[in-house]
Homo-oligomer: A and B are copies of this chain.
Amino acid sequence: MNNRRKFIGTAAALAAGTLAATAMPITAMENKYPVVHHVFFWLKNPESKEDRDKLIAGIKALKKIETVKDIHVGVVASTEKRDVVDTSWSVSELILFSDVKGQAVYQDHPLHLEFIKNCSPLWEKVVVYDAIDA
């Protein structure tokens, strides 16, 4: 390889290196469970602690579904009030899956169907966000 070719080769490697460096954090931050399923529930009776606790218990039981890798059952956190923050919901369900197939298994699972049957009378609105790691 003559010097010119060597230089071009190095320049190309450097350019590729720059691209790789930009992409690096993607690899470095890869999560084990890249599918994020986040559901927000608005209760029919948002003042009812009983309804809220019944829904929370119902969601927690979903942990038993084998494709559910991690679960957070939440209520509105007391963070700073800002216009962009939606605090109108009552209960949230955050579940992590290994893949989209795991999410599909969860959707059709008897425990999930039982949860919907038992708990859906409690809520008046549901919004779901399904994300996958970029």
Which residues from chain A sit less than 8 Å from chain B, CB to CB? 22, 25-26, 29, 31, 34-38, 40, 56-57, 60-61, 63, 70-80, 82, 84-87, 89, 91-92, 94, 100, 103-104, 107, 126-134
Contacts and interface: CB of A to CB of B under 8 A. Distances in A.
A72 B22 contact: no
A73 B129 contact: no
Q: Give the number of copies in the complex.
A: 2
Contact of A134 (B73, B80, B129): B73
B82 A128 contact: yes
A129 B57 contact: no
3 closest Cβ contacts across the A-B interface?
A74-B131, A77-B132, A77-B130
B132 A75 contact: yes
